[in-house]
Structure formats: structure tokens, C-alpha cells
Structure 1
Amino acid sequence: MGAERCLGGAVAATSYQGKEACSKVTSVSQLLIVAAASLLSQSSLANPSREVSPVVDTGATPTDTALDADAYTNQVSPKVDVAMVYYQERDRVTVAEGIFKLSQNFGDKDKLVTKLALDTITGASANGAVTQQQVQTFTRPSGTGVYQARPGETPLDDTFKDTRLQLSSTWVHTPSAGTLTTLGGYLSREYDYTSIGLNGGGQWSFNKGNTQANLAGGYFYDIANPVGGRPAPMSEMVFRQDFDSEAAFKAEFDKTRQSGSESKQTLDISLGLTQTVNKYWLMQINYGVSYVSGYMTDPYKVLSRINSDGHAVGYHYEHRPDKRLKQSLYVMGKRALTYGVFDLSYRYSIDDWSIDSHTLESRYRVNLTTRSFVQLHLRAYQQTAAKFYRLYLRDDQALPQYGSADYRLGAIDSYTIGLKYGQRLKDGTLATFRLEYYQQRPQNSGFDLVGQLRRFDQFPNNDAIIAQLGFSF
């Protein structure tokens, strides 16, 4: 998703004057390929360290800085972009992030772009258990203490908190006219997760510079070391109150855990073609494939085991497959208008987990003056459920090999609407402010709501507000 967002914003960010932006073919070409390569390493909440992020499909991740594309335009002096982002879900997750990006040219052919991001994540995350009419008690991931869900409330794990530091750097080299290459690295570190990666790409222009073909690839190696250890697949949660001593509980709790860390590897490849139709129109098509192998289970998610009355009689830790192949096709059209720029894009994605998704997105940017603009952002997203997604487990049936009740792997519709305002200050600094509203609408993909389950909303909406303040100078 990061690629399509960067690519979709490239022309609009090149110039305040829409017609001039679409006529700068060489500059646009550089922006497109760098964006395509950097997507493989620089996305924050959408990076591979979180297989399913709480905000991965909003179309408005914190790394959508004020003018990402401007970092790759030619200039002698260093260029600095800073942004502060705040993401708030209703009664759930809160994310605060600070981003610093430095771009420096080295002669006419080389540029180094370095980005540092620090974010804190706090709040409560849905643990996967179904809503019940009685109080539910859960053992914390560490095995120390419990947390509870009140009657009629979605069970939320309030231990969801972390601080993440990310560093990425990309070297951009232009060996000759019409050719551009990139090479980058990525490092992300948080308490229970480490991600490192390499990425690179190339772009070739032809047809008098009106056509650009690009190829980008990336490799990531992630290490997970969950709090309390990795739960044994589909093992049942144990509770201190069921044992006579702490030692007896600890011995049984340890049986549900696997020692040591676990890893995951990701290989991404992206192919793209961009065509300047005329000085007003730009069209683009991208194909991407991603192969992931290793540990993709969320160690903090559970499934409820229910009886015929819908009463939860136990909880089991989830287990996901250790391989995933994803493919996506993205098309975008961008039109320069008299007083702005309009773009419309569509993305179709499939994978061998049976998750199919559709994303329709548009931005309409209006230049209020030669120094200010306002931009409307609309996005609609829809996905089907993973083949191993389950709302619950049945007490009278054998445990499956794979299972997850994480609603982000279920059928979901989501919508984003937002506005961004930009103002060029007297000293040349560009200040921007973005405010967006995002809503997830989980859907029932065919599960029977037996007994007491039908009394409550097992698929509640999840609303969020995203605010961002950015400066480019």
C-alpha cells in the first residue's frame, strides 16, 4: 500500500501549479521510482514487523509526511522534513509518532535520504475473544496477573503498549539521463520485535522521457520475542485461580509456551509502468508480489471455545500458517487541473490465505493561492476473511490446525475521509496539517451466533481520528 500512496502523490507534490507539475517529466520519473523502492522499507505502521497492523489499511499511515516526494527533487542545500502524527481509536489504540527526514545531494547524480521515526503505541487491543453476558477474565501474556472484560463489552487486552524506533536510509543514483537506481536499508526496534531490511530499485525512461519502467525489490528479516514467550499453537489459557500454588500454576503455564525467539522473512518485488499521456494526464500501473515465510502468529490473540449456549468455556492461543504469498495490481490516473490536481486509483490484492481486497482511493488538491492549497482525501477498502479465520471454536469439535479470531483477518469494510491544508511561509517553509476520520466495519462472514452470542454485537465498528502536523524546509 505504501507504494501506491507515494506514487499517487508524486505529481501533486512537485509543484503548486498542476499543469507545470505534469510537464516536469524527468522530475516526476525520479519521484516515481524512488517512491516505489522506498515503500519496501520506510512504512511505519505498515512495515513487516506487524503482519496485521491496527491501522494498516487506513490509507493514512503516520509516514505519509507532508511532502515525501519533495525529498527527491534537485537542490544543493539539505532538505528537512519533520512531522508529528497522532492516531486515536475510540477506547482502543493510541499512536503518537515523530518523524525526521533529511535529504542531501552529492553532486548532480547522487542523493542520500535518511529518515528517523519514533512512535509510542498504548491503549487496548481486541484480544479475539467473543463478547459475553458475564465477566470474562484472561491471564496476561507474561503469566503475571489478569485483565477482565465486563458483561457486554468487547474483550480488550490493555497490555498493548510499545515504543518503536525506526531508521531507514536510501541512496539515489542517476548514472545517466533517463536512468535512476536506488539502494536502501531499514532497521526497526521495539521491545519484543526487531526488523531489518534491504531494498533497491531501478528505473529506465524511454519514448522521449514520456514512459518509465521500474523494478524494485526488498528483503526483510524479522525477529519476534514475545512477552512471556511464544504460545504453543492452539494451547489453552490457564488461570492462577485453578491451582493451589504459584509453582503449580507456573509449571502449567510454561507448558503453553515455547522458548526462544522466532523469525520471519519477507521478499517483495514490484514492477511498474508510468505513461505521461500529455502535459495534463499521467497514468500508472504496478504489479507487486510478496512472499512471507516464518512466524506470522500474533502471540497476544486468542479464540473463545464455546458450548451450544454460546457460553465461553475456555480460550486458546491462535495459530497462523507459516507461509503467505500475496499479489497486487494497482492502477492510477492523475489529472492536472487549472487550479489543482486530481487522482484516482484502484488496487486489487489476493493471497493464498484467501484474503481478497479492493481499494478505491482519490485525492483532489485545490490551489487556493500560489502559496497555499487544500486537499480532499477519500478512500474505501473491502476485504474477505482468511480461510482460517474463526469467530470462535466449538466445544464439541476437535481443534483445527490453524485458527485466528483477529478481526483484522476477517471480512472488513473501511472508509477514510480527510482534509489536508498546506501553506508556504515567508521563509519558504511549507507547513501542512492533515485531519482524517477512519472507520473499520467488521462483517460476519457466515458464522452462526448461537445462544447468548446473538445478544451482543460481535462485530463492532472501530473509529479513529488521525491528525498530522508537518514542516518541510
Structure 2
Amino acid sequence: MASSLFLGVGVAVTSDNALAGEQAAETRDNTAEQEEQASDPLSGATIDAALVYYQEQDRVTAAEGIINYRQALDDANIIRGKIALDALTGASANGAVIQASPQSFTRPSGTGVYQARAGELPLDDTFKDTRLQLSANWQHLFSAKWQVSLGGYLSREYDYTSLGVNAGLEHSFNQSNTQVFAGAAYYFDIVNPVGGRPVGMSEMVFRNDFANEAEFRQAFDATRFYDSALKRTLDLNVGVTQTLNRRWQAQLSYGLSSVNGYLNDAYKVVSRVDSRGQALGYHYEQRPDERLKHNLYLMTKGALDSGALTFSYRYSNDDWSLQAHTFDARYRYNLTGAAYWQWQFRVYLQDAAEFYHLYLTEGEPLPEFASADHRLGKMQTYTIGVKYGQKLEQGMLASVRLAYYQQRPQNHGVELPGELASFDQFPRLDAIVLQFGMRF
């Protein structure tokens, strides 16, 4: 059977359209830890509920409710279910550079404009969404050495729908000191951005540049596709968990992810500037329609007299030339048999994608691919968190987690002409995460 120190088989990375890249990965890591702690063989049913509040300074606010249900049907079958509902509001960086004068942008719907004040990072204040996620999993133990899992996934938000299936297989041997596992998942996503999908590298048009609404609408429609777009993801994962001694275990896994279809962010633009650094126009981003990602993960976890210590390292790269290193350390200190503190420190280092451009230069040919999305740029992020857990009566467990997240985008070597050099084009982002949990 799977070790209680590690999450079981069939774990796959789900699609995430709202919190992308590294922030979504950290969310998945913390969710996996919560599920791992609830994965011990138990009779009957257990329910884990959590409320999560995420607040960026002057930007996005997210609130999420999560319920995980686990039911042991008998000695050989376990079912799990999860439901999550989250709401996101606020303002998201649209990719444009900071300027010395105010900037105006046509809203994604084509109706109205939003503005950025002089000297401030342009933010799209139309960013809001509500998302419902449902997932279910069945785990069957053929014997003490073999187990299999099958699952399904559904996520629905206003402009994005994701459907997925996953399967996993695990084999234990060496007197149950070694477990090898393999998992696969397939996701089929349907994208319907507000106002249609922008034509990649087309230029944003403005109502004031046209004599009437009909002429503007004709020009706006020329920059749009109004049909749905598809995105397909195949994730494969293999690994091994090894008991090193009575206190320590280690896990090594490799993941391969193949993504194809619509991979653009329909709400991001790239500024086109002249030699003085002044923006003359804005182009909708265009990314490649294929992406192959590799992921190598190493974790070791040990039981100490005072609690537990966990170290993990993840290396990832892809054919977009985006490489990343993630270091995570967690120390759980048991105050008593009924209470504990857990501290976390996480560092993430990322290089820029090959088609990341802070801006486009006036007079030069437009590149085939370009994005100014900071999530594809060079950056460092840091997370410091603390969690307190307390056992209550009747076997219940309550917990509260507080974390500080800091994202530091960096210049990947691009020159800043004219007025661009007068402003911090790579502003820092700070966020607070507050989570309340209860296990029944």
C-alpha cells in the first residue's frame, strides 16, 4: 500500500486559468499536503473543509471554499470527491509598459475603455470570475502490493471550461519499503473569452479614431475570432518512493506534459514604443500553439522526535525555453499530541520564455510570437508561511494558515529607452494568504 507520508497514485496537474504558473503550482502543493495528511487508511468517512482568502496589494483578491470527502467502502475500495468554489475580483496587469502620461485601452468586450494613470502599471479592472470545480476518484487495492485509481475532473467559469480524466497504478515491493507508481491525465478545455479571441499580433483599435460606431465595430471585429477555441493537455507521471530507514523516506518522480491548442491569454497586450520609449500602440499577444514541459521532482521527509521535516526540489523546463527551480522546506513541530505548528519557506526562480517581450520596437517587423505577460518573464518569488493545527473533540482537527507571498519580476536583459527607464517596469507584487481548515 502507499506510504502514509506521501500522496498516492494518479496525481495530475489540473488546468488553471485564473491563477497561472507558479502561483497555481504552490496552491496545488499545499492542497496535496492537505490530502496527504488525510490519506491514512481510515474506516468510515472523513470530510476536510477549507476557506482560503488571497489578497494581492492593489490587485487581485480571491476567496475559495473547498470540501474534500473521503469514504472507505471496504478494505479494498476508497472513493474521494472534491468540490471547490472560488471568486476572483480586482485588477490584473494587462502587459503594457508604464508611461509618463495616462494611457487608455479598449475593453476586451469592445464597449468602453479603461485607463492607467501616469507613472502607474496598466491594470485591467475588468478582471473578475467565479469558478466551480468538481472532481471524483476511485482507488482499488487488488492486494497489499498493487493498487489502481481512476478519476474525473470538471471546472467551469465564465469564459473557460475544463474536463479531465486521470488514472494511476502503484506497485509495492521490497517488504513494502519501495513503491513505484505511474499516472496519466488528459484534459480537454474550451475557451470563450469575453469579446471573442483577439487575432494574435493584431493592433488594438479605439472608438475615438473612427467617425461612427459602425466603422469602429467593423475594425474591432477584424481583430477577433468569435468561435470557441480548444486546448488539450496530456500529463504523464512516473516515480518511486523509497523508505530509507525507520524515520526517513524519499520520493523521485518525472512528469511530462504535452499541451496544444489555444495557449494565449486573450486579455494581454504588448506595447509598441518608439526610440523615446513612448507607446504608439498595443498589440494582442501571440504564443505558440504547442508546449512540451518536463518536470523532475525530489522530496525527502523525516519523522523527528519533535515533529516532521520536509524538503523538496522541483526542476522544470519546456520548449518555450522557460526554466524554473523550486525549493520548499517545511518543519512541523508538535506542541502536544493534539496541537502543532508548521513553518514553510519556499523559493521559486524562473527564466523568461524565449518570446517574452517587455515591448515591441516601432519600425521593426512584428515577431511571430510575443507576450509581455509577467508570468512568462524572469522572476523570483518567496513564500513564508506558518500553520497552526489543533485536535478537537470527537476526532475533529482545526487549522489556520497564514502566508506572505512576494513576487519579484526582473529585467532579463532588455534595454529601457527614453521614459521607460524613468519607471520601475518590473514592479514587485506582495500578497497575503489566509486559510482556515476543519476535518470532520
* Maintained 8 Å contact 1:186/1:197: yes
* Maintained 8 Å contact 1:62/1:97: no
* Maintained 8 Å contact 2:7/2:39: no
* Maintained 8 Å contact 1:303/1:393: yes
Matches within 5 A, 1:317-332: 317-332=284-299
After superposition, the Cα gap between the structure-2 partners of 1:296 and 1:185, relative to the gap in structure 1 and judged at 3 Å, is: same
Q: What does residue 368 of structure 1 align with?
A: 335
Q: What does residue 296 of structure 1 align with?
A: 263
How far did 1:56 drift? 2.3
Match status 1:38 vs 2:5: no
Matches within 5 A, 1:17-416: 26=1, 28=3, 31-34=6-9, 37-41=10-14, 47-49=15-17, 52-53=20-21, 55-57=23-25, 59-60=26-27, 64=31, 67-416=34-383
How far did 1:332 drift? 1.1
**Equivalent position amino acid for 1:215 in 2:** A
Q: What does residue 11 of structure 1 align with?
A: none
How far did 1:51 drift? 8.4
5+ residue gaps, structure 2: none
The secondary structure found in structure 2 opposite 1:408 is helix
* Maintained 8 Å contact 1:139/1:146: yes
Q: What TM-score, normalized by structure 1, do the two folds share? A: 0.91
Query: What is the rounded CA distance, in whole Å, between the counterparts of 1:197 and 1:189 in structure 2?
Result: 12
Q: What does residue 421 of structure 1 align with?
A: 388
Higher helix proportion: 1
1:75-118 deviation line (CA, Å, top 9, x unaligned): 23211110000000000011100001111111110011000000
5+ residue gaps, structure 1: 1-25, 42-46
Query: What is the rounded CA distance, in whole Å, between the counterparts of 1:244 and 1:75 in structure 2?
Result: 70
* Maintained 8 Å contact 1:66/1:471: no
Q: What does residue 422 of structure 2 align with?
A: 455
* Maintained 8 Å contact 2:269/2:282: yes
Identity %: 53
Query: What is the rounded CA distance, in whole Å, between the counterparts of 2:283 and 2:305 in structure 1?
Result: 59
How far did 1:66 drift? 7.6
Q: What TM-score, normalized by structure 2, do the two folds share? A: 0.97
**Equivalent position amino acid for 1:52 in 2:** A
After superposition, the Cα gap between the structure-2 partners of 1:40 and 1:55, relative to the gap in structure 1 and judged at 3 Å, is: closer
Query: What is the rounded CA distance, in whole Å, between the counterparts of 2:79 and 2:251 in structure 1?
Result: 26
How far did 1:28 drift? 1.6
* Maintained 8 Å contact 1:411/1:445: yes
Query: What is the rounded CA distance, in whole Å, between the counterparts of 1:427 and 1:399 in structure 2?
Result: 65
- Residues matched between the structures, number: 440
Query: What is the rounded CA distance, in whole Å, between the counterparts of 1:31 and 1:107 in structure 2?
Result: 22
How far did 1:64 drift? 2.1
How far did 1:62 drift? 9.3
The secondary structure found in structure 2 opposite 1:86 is strand
* Maintained 8 Å contact 2:12/2:185: no
**Correspondence for 1:468 among 419, 435, 438:** 435
